[in-house]
Chains A and B, each alone.
Chain A
Amino acid sequence: MTELPASTTRKMGLVIDLDTCVGCHACVISCKGWNTENYGAPLSDQDPYGADPSGTFLNRVHSYEVQPDQGAAQLIHFPKSCLHCEDAPCVTVCPTGASYKRTEDGIVLVNESDCIGCGLCAWACPYGARELDQAEGVMKKCTLCVDRIYNENLPEEDRVPACVRTCPAGARHFGDFADPESNVSQLTAARGGIDLMPELGTRPVNKYLPPRPKDQLEGQIDILAPLLAPVVEEPTGFLGWLDRTLGRL
């Protein structure tokens, strides 16, 4: 049903550390690899080896340049997938009840056999988390790897979303935000985790940790620096002659 639950017992979600992410896109690949062959319809590609390839992805990594008032620009890699919002606008617009938010853990899912592929939920999502699969005609989105996290056939260390399991930098963390003692709650509190587009009132469960402040290379960097100053400012010898001669020309 597309009525949102008033509250969920647990709030499962991700913390994404923008300070740590190196932009390797491994989470994109492992997400596609797991989800194309497990829950629901495969994630199709169109013209994958041709001139204009495109395809369905549940997780995409953007890169942004941020120019502070002072100092060098920073490059920040920005993975983006479904934020499993508490006030998910994609769920309430669904005319068929295919989209729903689970009461037990807050995961937002699509029942693909009820989806008519109208695309309205993708319009309602501000984050671009939903993509209509072009081959299957149904809406695809991040399931938080619902078929991994409770899967007792997998070794315990694999019972996390594929993106979290694969991240070589440790930039992705999975846990229960309803529990203030959980790893994700503590990380969010310690690092000042933020919501994306908070002004839209979607109340995302997933949090982003902003990049830590960079070191400032201002003033003297070493007590020996004065001794290391260049001894000769003007070139001498052959280079000096060349410089003077070229200057006269």
Chain B
Amino acid sequence: MHPAPSVILFTSLSGLGFGLLVFLGLGFPDVTGWTAFAFFVLSYLLAVGGLSASTFHLGHPERALKAFTQWKTSWLSREGWFSVAALLVLAAYGAGLVLLGTRWSLLGWLGAGLSLATLIATSMIYAQLKTVPRWHSPLTPAMFLSTGLAGGALLAGQVTAALWLLLLAGLVQVAYWITGDRALAQSGTTLASATGLGPIGRVRAFEPPHTGSNYLTREMVFVVARRHAVKLRVIALALMVVIPVLFLLLPFSHAWAALAALSHLAGVFCARWLFFAEAEHVVGLYYGRR
């Protein structure tokens, strides 16, 4: 799939933002007043920034509100509802913390739950697609959830939780890569099943419909730079998990924590680039590519 910057920014930043909101909603760290204000501003900048990045690739962003109508069937619509609900509930909860210095715990838990639901809904936009076998796996929601929570714990300054969640996110990421590499072959979809010509013999794409590219090949048959996938996986894992964990093991200082968060964010960007660039859409088979 084409790794569009808008979707990479969207999934990475809003994942981190809603991950942080989960922790803030649960009362970690237990802050009020200006400190709480700073935490909430950071989380809203990430969450809202990510969500608005996702509208950049729309053909008609001015009609984006229509996307709230189909929550019964569409994960994209559900994601819209969960994210707006989470942001509104936590805005009220945050106002209590910042302005009145009171914690409305019930509201916080509700907001944390809605933030978790947002993370899951985002991942299900991809995991629901049978056409991309690499994404069509329970490991996709697991990966989005563990990465979001690890980043959230890191930003929330929860050192112990962040350590364990980062290690978990790393394990899930590696499991996602290992199973993903076999997903297309295991899906059973081949050029033979795509054309129905398998019973006659070995099928080979002889001639494409047009000599040039088209929307489908540009959007769904992105193969550039897959050859660097292994190197990029190592870089992603190092930046996302290994370096932040090392920084967290050092005696705590705000500078180390900031570096750990920045390294983590860079790693998530790299992993998300691979998430899209490595994903093979079955329509590529019709073009003799994957």
Chain A positions near chain B (C-beta within 8 angstroms): 1-3, 18, 28, 52-57, 60-69, 73-76, 78, 80, 89, 91-98, 114-120, 122-128, 131-134, 136-139, 194-201, 208, 210-211
- Bound Cα distance A93, B129 (Å): 9
Q: Looking across the interface, which residue of chain B has its beta carbon closest to that of A202?
A: B130
**Inter-chain contact B283/A63, CB cutoff 8 Å:** no
Task: Determine the chain A residues whose CB is within 8 A of the CB of B222 once the complex forms.
Answer: none
Main DSSP-derived SS at the A contact region: loop
- Bound Cα distance A16, B69 (Å): 37
The answer to whether A197 and B194 touch (CB under 8 A), given A115-B60, A127-B283, is: yes
Task: Determine the chain A residues whose CB is within 8 A of the CB of B282 once the complex forms.
Answer: 126, 197, 200
**Inter-chain contact A114/B66, CB cutoff 8 Å:** yes
Q: Looking across the interface, which residue of chain B has its beta carbon closest to that of A125?
A: B131
**Inter-chain contact B219/A93, CB cutoff 8 Å:** no
A-B contact pairs, 6 of them (CB 8 A): A2-B74, A69-B201, A93-B76, A94-B70, A123-B132, A134-B215
Chain B positions near chain A (C-beta within 8 angstroms): 1, 57-61, 63-64, 66-70, 72-77, 80, 125, 128-132, 187-189, 191, 193-197, 199-210, 212-216, 219-220, 281-283, 286-287
**Inter-chain contact B70/A68, CB cutoff 8 Å:** no
**Inter-chain contact B59/A137, CB cutoff 8 Å:** yes
Task: Determine the chain B residues whose CB is within 8 A of the CB of A131 once the complex forms.
Answer: 214-216
What 5 pairs between A and B have smallest CB-CB spacing?
A: A117-B59, A137-B59, A60-B209, A68-B201, A95-B67
Q: Min CB distance, A108 to chain B, in Å?
A: 14
Q: Looking across the interface, which residue of chain A has its beta carbon closest to that of B197?
A: A66
Looking at the complex, which one of A18, A65, A127 makes contact with B204 (CB distance below 8 Å)?
Answer: A65
**Inter-chain contact B202/A67, CB cutoff 8 Å:** yes
**Inter-chain contact B216/A128, CB cutoff 8 Å:** yes
**Inter-chain contact A195/B216, CB cutoff 8 Å:** no
- Bound Cα distance A116, B68 (Å): 12
Task: Determine the chain B residues whose CB is within 8 A of the CB of A137 once the complex forms.
Answer: 58-60
Q: Looking across the interface, which residue of chain B has its beta carbon closest to that of A78?
A: B195
Q: Looking across the interface, which residue of chain B has its beta carbon closest to that of A113?
A: B63
**Inter-chain contact B76/A195, CB cutoff 8 Å:** no
